[in-house]
């Protein structure tokens, strides 16, 4: 057992370190005031949104379609599916999102993808972990939607992989960014018909060599930044199911919602 004066000395050192850390953070905040994640206006705490941007972040909470994750205008009872999910069921089981893809959510996604906002991945990924808490467990296999190597070279990072890493870290789920490959460069899906989307994505993805063993019998969650038409994650869901996954869910930061 250490002498009492050693314990007191260790306690003094620990206290001094805490005080130094607090003083350092205060000095840094004075020199570089924390900024809103979406609009860069000054805020009181780092990693947050200003009042205006927080008000403009339209969070998706129940009631929503249990299959597509799209919000309902009113609470019609638990477990209901939307007409879209009934008429055209997706290949995945459930989709969940933090917010609608408009306002502050759109700005956050654009800052992440197009303004080198890699620092946004941690707070956005943490929000996704909360929104997808029913999908993510330590037994879940998290797979980011892959980028084609040409686009990855131009952007220098895959925003889906960054978000997946943070969501997996927050929930202790297993992250594998090497199992899905995008082998064909595709044009954006927005504005294409269903037939054009299918043609655009034909042959775009494949399972990495030897990946089937890692997917067999696993609960998989596909992660991306935005869910727009759903064609990409639908194609990947079919691919993962054929490889033996027991279930496939989708988690995104923002969902394009077509009201009415």
Q: What is the DSSP letter of 105?
A: H
How high is the pLDDT of residue 154?
87
Check residue 20 and give its pLDDT.
Answer: 46
Mean per-residue pLDDT, 147-156: 88
Rounded to the nearest 10 degrees, what angle do helices 103-114 and 121-131 cross at?
130
- If you average pLDDT over every residue of the chain, what do you get? 87
Q: Is the pLDDT of residue 114 over 60?
A: yes
- The residue that leads in pLDDT, 43 or 226, is 226
Query: Considering the entire predicted model, what is its pTM?
Result: 0.85
- What is the distance between the alpha carbons of residues 95 and 248, in angstroms, rounded to a whole number? 9
Long-range contacts of 24-33 (CB under 8 A, 24+ apart): none
The residue with tokens 């990072």 is: 157
Strands (E), the chain: 94-100, 141-144, 174-175, 180-182, 205-207, 219-227, 247-255
Q: What is the pLDDT of residues 24-40, one digit of tens each?
A: 444 444 556 788 999 88
Q: How far apart are CA 82 and CA 3, in angstroms?
A: 68
| pLDDT surpasses 70 at 14 | no
């Amino acid at each position: 057992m250490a002498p009492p004066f050693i314990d007191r000395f260790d306690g003094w050192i620990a206290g001094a370190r805490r005080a130094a850390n607090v003083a350092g953070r205060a000095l840094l905040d004075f020199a570089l005031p924390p900024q809103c994640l979406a609009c860069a206006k000054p805020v009181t705490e780092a990693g947050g949104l200003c009042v205006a941007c927080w008000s403009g972040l339209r969070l998706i909470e129940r009631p929503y379609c249990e299959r597509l994750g799209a919000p309902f205008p009113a609470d019609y009872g638990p477990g209901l599916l939307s007409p879209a999910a009934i008429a055209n069921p997706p290949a995945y089981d459930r989709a969940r999102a933090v917010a609608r893809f408009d306002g502050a959510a759109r700005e956050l996604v654009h800052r992440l993808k197009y303004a080198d906002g890699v620092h946004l991945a941690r707070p956005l990924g943490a929000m996704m972990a909360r929104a997808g808490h029913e999908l993510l467990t330590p037994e879940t296999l998290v797979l980011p939607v892959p980028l084609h190597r040409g686009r990855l070279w131009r952007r220098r990072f895959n925003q889906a992989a960054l978000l997946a890493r943070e969501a997996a870290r927050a929930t202790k789920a297993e992250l594998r960014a090497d199992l899905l490959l995008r082998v064909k460069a595709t044009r954006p899906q927005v504005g294409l018909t269903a037939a054009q989307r299918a043609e655009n994505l034909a042959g775009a993805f494949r399972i990495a060599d030897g990946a089937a063993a890692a997917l067999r019998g696993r609960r998989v969650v596909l992660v991306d930044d935005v869910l727009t038409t759903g064609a990409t994650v639908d194609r990947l869901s079919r691919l993962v199911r054929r490889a033996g996954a027991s279930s496939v869910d989708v988690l995104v930061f923002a969902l394009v919602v077509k009201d009415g």
